[in-house]
Amino acid sequence: MIKVREKLYISYLFVATLIVLPFSMFLSFFIRFKFISAPKGIPDIHQYILFFIISFIIHEIIFYLQGFFKFKLKKGVLDTLYEVFFNFFATIFISLAFFSYLRSYNFINYEISHKFLLVYFILGLLIVSLTERGFRYVLKESYKNPKNRRKGIIIGFNETGKKLLEKLLKYKDWGIDIIGFIDESKTEEEFLGTKIIGSYDSLEDIITRNDVKDVFITIPLKDYDRIMELIRVANKNLAEIKIVPDIIHLLSIKAELQHIEDIPIINLNDIPLKGWKAVSKRVLDLLFSFTGLILLLPFFVVIAILIKLTSKGPVFYLQERVGIDGKVFKIIKFRTMIKDAEAQRGPVWSPTSDDPRITKIGRFLRKYSIDELPQLINVLKGEMSLVGPRPERPIFVEKFKKELPHYMLRHKVKAGMTGWAQVHGLRGNTSIDDRVKYDLYYIENWTLKLDIKILWMTFLRLGFIDPNL
């Protein structure tokens, strides 16, 4: 049912952008040259038509690449504003660059008013954002009408069925009412107020008596014959069938359904960070790492001098870490311990504040994560990213992957200088299990906006300060 709502939402939103974008352009032209002084005179609107067409095409391409037209259950106001803001910023920048090129070669002999662009940026941002939020509101409100709601049942009173119920109740606004479970159990047990209302044999009676439209099958796949019989009954009564495989408890990263011609294939470890998204993340990494290294160079020189003055040994410390796809690379850090520190005690996962191997300047560098700044070089080289799961040493990776079944999924993306776990206080000597949960959430829900949010939170919440030192 949610899939039907998704297609309806996407269709309406796409058509709406075909209308509101040109409307915003013409309205902005009218406001700019009607209510704001124009010392150079009012241009013929026909001169702006080419700009309108180019900008419109770029808008739609960026919206498509952003996934703006994809239905997202958890999309909030800030998500919409961010997507539209980025779209308008990028579109105006690209359009201006294109028109500057045309003007430099005398293909055109006029300029696009910067005041018009400012008006269009603000007005278009508001109109498109309000349009998207308006559609979501109207659709959700329409599903409050009993005529637009559908009744559903969950076959299987098990872990998978209960987890599914939690999600369906969470998104109840989108029009599905679960009336109960169907299970062979005769118990009066219930979950979240939803009871077992019948056995497998009573499926047909329950569907017809309650006008059930959606049947969710969550019983184990090993009961193949039973599942086929349930499907036959549901099909006979024109109910829509959704099979929720009992293997979902094995999944830690979102699965994706793919097809090779008519053969469906479930990719269990699909991640959103690929294609143009990976390119955009890499561009962000290059921009910040290159700029950061240039700006921090004088600061690095001062730190290098302090390290050399306070202890014997090299300025930098290279240490093997495990990165994307399990590949080992050498992370670059300012040295914070005495020379050959590991010769005394061997590898230590997270040194404590009383570790005698840490130098005086090293303790300060560690506490404020200044020792991590040379990792900008790793980012520039492509071995790391600004944001991602923190990389561990091979010896600890071997240990953790035996203890935690989903641990290695962290290596589906590049390791990061900061991460979702770190900005939530999970750094240093904290639970590795909790860190993995946060890391996998980041991988599953990656967006460029989330990267920027994590970078901002790193500074806002002083996520770079280690409370253990």
Q: Tell me, what's the pLDDT at 406?
A: 81
Does domain 146-250 match CATH 3.40.50.1820? no
For the stretch 15-42, pLDDT in tens is 999 999 999 999 999 999 988 888 888 8
- pTM metric for this prediction: 0.61
Q: Please say whether the beta carbons of 123 and 27 come within 8 A.
A: yes
For the record, the structure tokens of 129 come out as 């954002």
For the stretch 69-122, pLDDT in tens is 877 766 778 778 888 998 999 999 999 888 888 888 777 777 888 899 999 999
For the stretch 281-336, pLDDT in tens is 898 899 899 999 999 999 999 999 999 888 888 999 899 999 998 899 999 999 98
For the record, the structure tokens of 164 come out as 């599914």
Distance CA 154, CA 25 (A): 49
Count how many residues are written for the chain. Answer: 469
Would the pLDDT of 3 be above 60? Answer: no
Q: Tell me, what's the pLDDT at 254?
A: 66
Run of H or E including 344: helix 342-345
Domain boundaries, the chain: 2-142, 146-250, 276-460
Q: Tell me, what's the pLDDT at 257?
A: 66
Using the CB atoms, write b or e for 264-292: b if 16+ within 10 Å.
eeeeeebbbbeeebbebbeebbeebbeeb
